[in-house]
Structure 1
Amino acid sequence: MQKIFGLVAAMAMIVVMLITSFEIAIYSDYGWYQKEYEKYQVLDDLEMEMQDVMDVTEEMMAYLRGDRKNLEVKTVIAGEEGMFFNEREKLHMEDVQGLFLGGIQIRRVAFVIFAAAVLLILFQKGNLREILPQMYGWAVGLFLGVAAVFGGLVAIDFNKYFVLFHEIFFNNDLWLLDPATDLLIRMLPEGFFFDMVIRIGVIFIGSLLILWGAGALWRRGRAKKKS
């Protein structure tokens, strides 16, 4: 039972780290967005200045975090002041906000599960220093295997799985935007999302391995004390 609780704790912690990796990748560095806009030359498609595009980006991200009530964002497009988001884009971004905030809620639940599993191990007088690193190592191995398969599939045909993601997580077709009428898809082309997936993956796998190394050292310290 202690090992089962340890595995539950490890899986819950990995979920926490996955969602946190999304948050770090998306919110930690707006300079990354500017580099992406330059890479895909979105200023030409938008007919906007970089500073205006960055201002729209920051307002959009504030909305997704729930720090802004709406997406009534004024900016300068082709030399004229106007609203960046149209009604279809606003409705779609409302759905996206639901995913963002839902992810934060899932992280909270996962952390509670982690804490409860740890307390149950302690209640059964289990050795956390032995159980948690071992079960975490098993869980990481499983996740890395799944990640390798998923990464391979995405690399082969990103568009296919990009579409599949939207079909799974959205119950409408609002995500099907038209470059002729919708500025959002011009600002965030498909290549941007591919790069974001890579960014999230690097952060997530890196954090998994760092924590795995820390756990191994923690467990090894116990072994040295025994000897």
Structure 2
Amino acid sequence: MRSLNNIIAISITILLSICIILTNLQFVAFNNDFYQREFEKYKVENTTGMDINQLKKTAVRIQDYLSYKVDNLQTDTVIYEKKTKLFNDRELKHMEDVRILFKKGFFLRNISVAAIFLLILLMYFINKRLLYNLFNSLFTGMLWMLCIVVVGVIIISLNFNMWFTYFHLYFFNNNLWQFDVARDKLIQMLPEGFFSDAVYLAAKNSIITFGFILAILYFVKRKLLKPD
């Protein structure tokens, strides 16, 4: 039974960590206020020739596309007072790949949530004492995961560009993600600084979430699930 408890505790720790990280990444990716702050921070109006209202509309369009609310990312816009199509074929094809990646992330997060509840129910029906041991082990596991996330953020911050490149090389099997900042509007709107800020904000929120869950686990195992 002890080995079963350890296996389930490790499984839930990994699944819960996936849920936390992916949920916080999703929160940033679909946060209009974040986009507006980044547009202002990196002076995207000057870079793209688009006014802030057009940029905000485009940000909403990107979010709707990634969440499968619309099927076509392309949109008309006014750049330096000239009406034109916003994205070129290379940008559109890359965003198709990004959309698929988001879909996989949504699926993984949802499956992880379902698996966590099933595993907890399994332990509850097997033996309540095992459930107490599970929460005790889970507290330790989540504490370790919190440390791993903190260390990971520190390592990434030392050379974000390198890890950003590794991310694209691993998740995309083409070079469509390599843009020309002088020509391609997507990279002008969303420069590398946008993504580094997004990662750090998601990481900060994830660390806060880990701390909140650790507090809940401590309360549950101390107050509600004392062994008989």
In structure 1, the residue corresponding to 2:128 is in which secondary structure?
A: coil
What is the letter of the counterpart of residue 83 of structure 2? E
Q: Normalised by the size of structure 2, how large is the TM-score?
A: 0.92
Establish whether residue 79 from structure 1 lines up as the match of residue 81 from structure 2: yes
> What aligned pairs does 1:117-132 form with structure 2 within 5 A after superposition?
117-127=119-129, 130-132=132-134
Q: Which amino acid aligns with 1:171?
A: N
Match of 2:10? 7
- Please list the CA deviations of residues 170-194 of structure 1 after superposition, one character each: whole Å capped at 9, or x if unmatched: 0000000011221010111111111
Instruction: Report if aligned partners of 2:50, 2:79 keep a CA contact under 8 Å in 1.
Output: yes
Task: Give the counterpart of 1:58 among 54, 57, 60.
Answer: 60
Cα 1:84/1:68, change in 2 over 3 Å: same
Distance 1:145 1:224, change over 3 A: closer
Q: In structure 2, what is the Cα distance between the partners aligned to 1:33 and 1:57?
A: 7
Q: Which residue of 2 aligns with 1:46?
A: 48
In structure 2, the partner of 1:173 is 175
The one-letter code matched in structure 1 to 2:36 is Q
- CA, structure 1 residues 62+127, in 2 after alignment: closer, same or farther (shift >3 Å)? farther
Q: 1:43 to 1:121 in 2, by over 3 A?
A: same
Residue from 73, 91, 94 that aligns with 1:89? 91
Measured in 2, the distance between the counterparts of 1:12 and 1:131 equals: 18
| RMSD over aligned Cα atoms | 1.8
The secondary structure found in structure 2 opposite 1:60 is helix
2:162 partner letter: K
Match of 1:16?
19
1:133 Cα deviation (Å)? 2.9
Aligned length: 225
Q: Is the 8 A contact 2:76 2:86 kept in 1?
A: yes
Tell me, in whole angstroms, the C-alpha distance in 2 between the residues paired with 1:183 and 1:128.
55
3-state secondary structure, aligned to 1:76? strand
Runs (5+) with no aligned partner, structure 2: none
Q: Which residue of 2 aligns with 1:26?
A: 29
Q: TM-score, normalised by structure 1?
A: 0.92
The C-alpha deviation readout for 1:146-190, integer Å capped at 9, x for no partner, is 223321221111111110110011000000001122101011111
Alignment of 1:146-157 (within 5 A): 146-157=148-159
Look up the match of 1:36: 38
Contact 1:48 1:76 in 2 (8 A): yes
Residues in 2 aligned to 1:139 and 1:172: alpha-carbon distance in whole angstroms: 37
Structure 1 gap segments, 5+ residues each: none
